[in-house]
Every structure is written in C-alpha cells, then in structure tokens.
Amino acid sequence: MIYTAGQVVFDRISNLKHFPKLNSTSYIQEYHELFGGAAGNAAVVCSKLGQKASLVSFVGEDFRGSAYEKHLKLNGVDLTNLRIVKGGLTPRAFMFNDSGGRQMSFFYWGVAEQFSSAPIPELRFGSNDIVHLANGNPDFNIRFARKYPGVSFDPGYDIVAYGKKDMERILKNTRLLSCNNFEMSRILKLLGMKNKEELFSFPVECVVITRGKDGCSVTNREESFTVPAFKARFVDPTGAGDAFRAAFLSALLKGESLEMCARIASSVASFIVEAYGAQTNIPTWKEAMERLNKRIS
C-alpha cells in the first residue's frame, strides 16, 4: 500500500488573452474545472498503475458526493483515511494563464488548515507499505514521518514554509527525497550544504531531482545518473511532477531498478502533460511500458 498524505484540491484553470489592468476586466477564453492536489494526484496515479493507494487528507462537506469523490472511487483509491470536516470547504486553486505563457495563481486553504493540529492517523502499516508525503504542512509531515519512518518526501511548493530545524527533523525519517531544482536549492541553502551528496549524512537512501523538459537525476550512495524526458505533445504541465513521483514509487515497489523506475516515471509524466489537468490523461502500467519500450527500440 502507498499512503499519499497531503492536499486534495479543486483546480480551476482559466485561459485569457491578457491579464486585466487594475479595476478593469479581461474575458476568459477557456475554463476548466479539474481535480488536483499533490496527494490526490499521486494516489490516482499509483492506483492506475496497479498499486493499492490510500489517500490521507482533509476535505470539506462539499466533497461528499462530488465528481472528484466519484472519480477517486472509480479509480480504486482507498478513502478510509480521508477526513470530511463538518462545515468546511475543500481547498481550491485558481490559476489564470495568459497567451504569453505567464500564470497567476490564488489558493484557498479551506480545511487544509487542519493539518497543523491534526493527529496522525493509525494506519494498517505493513512491511511493504510506504508513506508518500506530498506537499503539506511541515509540522504534520514531521510528525507523520516520525510515526512511520522511511517516508517518501516531496516538499513541493510548501518548501517555503520549512525552516532549517523542520528540514532536519523530516529528513531524519526520509528514505526517498523527490523535488525539483528550485526545491533542492532551497533545501541545500536551509541546511548550509553545497551539494546533494551531503544529504546522505541523513538516513536518506535516494535523491531524485526532476528538471522538466531536461529529464531527471537520480542519486544514491553508490551512483548518480540522469534520464532524459520523453518527447510529448505538450498541453499543460499541471501534475506532471506528482505523476512522476507516484510512478517512481510504484515501480520501486514492483522491484524495478532505480534507473528503470526513473524511465517508467518519465513515461508516465509524458502522458500527463498531453492534456489539461493532473488526472485527465493518466496511463495504465501497460500503456506506460509500451511508450517506454517504443523509445528503447
């Protein structure tokens, strides 16, 4: 079982020709209501790839009976650890894209504010299970990692909420660290380190850095290598990083080598960017492997 802990979000994406000036209006040319949140994204990807996935998060009463809830159930995601907060609203992300490729984002936390004081759930945790911390409140993640050590940790955009002590505490219980270039730079700066190899002074076993169109790098205590990104019909990058991390974990639990995990994850991520939304175009394991094998051949 892969337990994905973090946010579940209703994504609202609007495309417009140009951003309005202050006190003026700009018409929206294209509008999408989609499913998001790093934990929700990761859970669905894991499940689609054949892994058992359980979502650990908080949602509002508006989530009950929603299309998102039905979508999660349809894709086999376990919702036992999804808490519905009475009287609350599920988090929402509002993203506005102009024709020049620029983006403005607004985030409504809603019941996600519950993370900081929430008790860590009692999981039916087995020797082959792993917790994937996808974004989220630092205090919650630190307590979660302490209770279930050996986590997969993706700081995501919440990296800015971490102080030095926070980062040290969570890395003491992290097995796999996944992040992008910006997040890695932030981590090293927080810890006063010069390179990612110094992170192995913690119990971290593997560091994966995603670099968008430039692929990814994978480093453990014995080796370091890079894997190129797949060519794709680019539409929207939303959720590609979440999908990569979920696919990497899924492949790892299937017993694949680190290099094969990275290649499979890159294949999965290439599907995600070919449609609007993080959960719109998730491949099955068979589809991801077929695309990978075509590339190898």
Question: Which runs of consecutive H residues, i.e. helices, occur in the chain?
Answer: 38-48, 67-74, 138-147, 164-171, 181-191, 240-253, 258-272, 285-296
Catalytic residue of the set 11, 78, 158, 242: 242
Both structure tokens of 74: 């349809």
Closest CA to 39 of 112, 146, 123, 127: 112
Phi and psi at 272, nearest 5°, equal -60, -40
User: Does residue 32 contact residue 58 with C-beta atoms inside 8 Å?
Assistant: no
Is 78 noted as a catalytic residue in this protein? no
Distance between CA 207 and CA 161 in Å, rounded? 21
SS3 175: strand
Residues annotated catalytic, as ranges: 242
